[in-house]
Every structure is written in structure tokens, then in C-alpha cells.
Amino acid sequence: MWTKRALDALVARIQAALEAHSMSEIEALAQNPMGRCFLGVGASVSAGFIEFAKTELASFLKQREPTEDAVVTAENLLAIVAEVVLDEDNAVHAAQLGIHGLLLKLLVHENDRIQEAASLVVVNSSTHNCSTTGINISFPCKTLPLEPPTRQWPQLQPLPRDPRDEDSQDERVVLIRAVKRRMTGQPKTGYLLWGAAVILARWIHLHRELFLEQTVLEVGSGLGLSGIVAASYSRKTILTDYQQDTLLALTYNVGLNQMQEMAAVEHLDWDHLDDEVFASLVALFITVVIQAPSVDMVIASDIICDPTTAEGCASESVDDKDDVCGRVL
């Protein structure tokens, strides 16, 4: 897990690389979800990578006869932008900054390589349906905000200090994507970080010894806070929910915390499970995802806040299934 100090150092490192036009470190960060996110957010007193890219591409377009070196630099920059806009919030931020207008010109540039590089940015920007932002950024986006847009940091959810942590005086944080739009389907849930999830996450952090070498299943994961903390200590953790946009948010937050190796995201709808389906699901978890004889622990928090979901949850309680789980929290 990260500390706020380490995240500030990461952003400072990004700013230093941008000021030095050192693209090798920027390119490396653009290859993973966490790096892409922080390339977009910038610092409190300076712009991030997307603003940098906009300035550099605008400068390139002003050159009537760009040199080969200038073409290579612009081509490489566009390749990094194409990776960075795989992050939906970055794609929205880039559109609101007016980068689509630059891309329209780059798509008809006299150099074929520039055209191809710009095309990849457009394709990657257009892969998002923006179901989690509620903002239409169909290419080309021509409706720009009146105020200069900013890319927010993810929410930093602090965990209690623990003497077992390295540099225990630094507070550990879990990164949770700040999503403004509530999900559809379950109007009483949505992109909310419920208090019970915070309490469970803190409890797991302080009782990590219970999770060492365990296989953990979280049901009703929501934004995934508790499951991500469990994944930090367990052998394997599976985070589950049933709405597609929730699963997208879960996958994003798992990647944001660099937990892809320790955590998996799966679909689970307990209102539409029968014994046969449940058995198949457990078999899948055990043989493919968990690769262990059984699930050792099931965790959940605030999963039946809506009365309409309570019956399904009770009827499919995992602890009622033989040889599936050792402990339910």
C-alpha cells in the first residue's frame, strides 16, 4: 500500500520528468493503471502530462516543415497519450482541454506516421462509454467547459497506523476513484463509500494476521475498499458484485492500487443463483481463480442496505454450502 508522502513524491517525479522532457519515465508510468491516473492529475501548482502534451502538440502543428527529429518526438508523444487516455477520467480531461481539436489537424497531417499515431489516440479515447462520468466526449468533443478543467486525485482512504508497517509513522492509504455519478440499477447504492466498508477495511488492516495465506471472497464489493485491503495480506482475494459499471469501477480500483496479482474481479448476483449455478461458480473460483481447495473466508459490508436484496442474500449465504468456506465476516 501507498503512503501520502510516497504519492506526493511520485507526482513530483512526474513533474521533474516533464520539465526535463524525459519521456522514458513517463512512458513507463503510462503502461499501468496507477501510473496513467497520476500522469493525469498533475500537482497543486503545476499541470500534468495531458496539459504538457497539449502544449507540445500545438507547438508541433505550427511547424511548416518539421524535421525528422520533431516528427519522431511528436509520434512518441502521441503514443504515450494513447496509453494515458485508456484511463476514462484522462480521456474526459483531454477532451475538455481541447485536445480533440488538435487531433483533427494531426489526422490530416502530411506525415503518415503522425496520422497513424493520432488515430490511435482517437480510438483509445473512443473506447469509453463514459458510464461512470456521465460526460459525453464523443469525438470530436467541441463543447468545452467555461472554467479550465482539472483532473482530481483519487480519494485517499487512510488506514490506522500499525507498528508492523514499514515507516509506521506514515499513514497507509487505499486509492479509490472519485466518481461523481451514481450507478444505475440500484438507486440506493451507487458509487458510495459506505461507513461499514471503512470500518471493515480498518479492521482487516489491524487484524492482518487472520488473512495471511488465506483465500478470501468478498461479496457486494462496491468500490472494493475492504477487498483491496484484504488482498494486501491474503494469498488471493476475489471481489464480486453484479452491476457492470460496478465491476468496471472495481477493476479500476484494483489496478489503481496495483493489486492485479493478488485480487480478481468477478460477477456475482445472488438474486439469480440456484444451487447448480452456485456450485459452478464455486468450482470456477476454486479451480481457475483461487487454485485452492476451498475459500477460507468470506467478507462483506453493508450488502443488504436495500431490503429488496436481503432475501437473495440470505437464501444463498455462502456459509450454508458444505466445504466451501471456513469463516464469514
What pLDDT digit, counting tens, does each position of 298-309 carry? Answer: 999 877 655 555
CB atoms within 10 A of CB 133: 16
Q: Is the pLDDT of residue 246 over 90?
A: no
Residue that is written with C-alpha cell 475498499 in the block: 225
β 2-3/172-176 pair status: antiparallel
Q: Of the given ranges (11-20, 60-69, 87-96, 182-191), which has the lowest mean pLDDT?
A: 182-191
Asked whether the beta carbons of 102 and 58 are under 8 A apart, the reply is yes
Candidates 265, 271, 274; CA nearest to 313 is 271
Average pLDDT (186-200) is 72
Q: How far is CA 284 from CA 227, 280, 296, in A?
A: 19, 6, 15
Structure-model confidence comparison of residues 214 and 192, the more confident one: 214
Residue that is written with C-alpha cell 465491476 in the block: 247
CA distance 7 to 286: 35
pLDDT digits (tens, 9 = 90+) for 9-46: 999 999 999 999 999 999 999 999 999 999 998 765 56
Residue that is written with C-alpha cell 503512503 in the block: 3
Q: Give residue limits of the domains in the chain.
A: 2-130, 160-328
Asked whether the beta carbons of 200 and 329 are under 8 A apart, the reply is yes
pLDDT digits (tens, 9 = 90+) for 126-148: 876 555 555 667 888 887 777 87
CB atoms within 10 A of CB 172: 23
Which CATH architecture group holds 160-328?
A: 3-Layer(aba) Sandwich (3.40)
Q: Of the given ranges (40-49, 180-189, 203-212, 223-232), which has the lowest mean pLDDT?
A: 180-189
Q: What is the pTM of this model?
A: 0.83
3-state SS string over the chain? CEEHHHHHHHHHHHHHHHHCCCHHHHHHHCCCHHHHHHHHHCCCCCCCHHHHHHHHHHHHHCCCCCCHHHHHHHHHHHHHHHHHCCCHHHHHHHHHHCHHHHHHHHCCCCCHHHHHHHHHHHHHHCCCCCCCCCCCCCCCCCCCCCCCCCCCCCEEEECCCCCCCCCCCCCEEEEECCCCCCCCCCCCCCCCCCHHHHHHHHHHHHCHHHCCCCEEEECCCCCCHHHHHHHHHCCEEEEEECCHHHHHHHHHHHHHCCCCCCEEEEECCHHHCCHHHHHHHHHHHHHHHHCCCCEEEEECCCCCCCHHHHHHHHHCCHHHCCCCEEEEC
Residue that is written with C-alpha cell 479550465 in the block: 148
CA distance 275 to 282: 10
Q: Is the pLDDT of residue 291 over 70?
A: no
Q: Is the pLDDT of residue 166 over 70?
A: yes
CA distance 165 to 66: 53
**Half-sphere exposure in the Cβ direction for 161 (13 Å, CA):** 7
CA distance 178 to 193: 10
CB atoms within 10 A of CB 295: 24
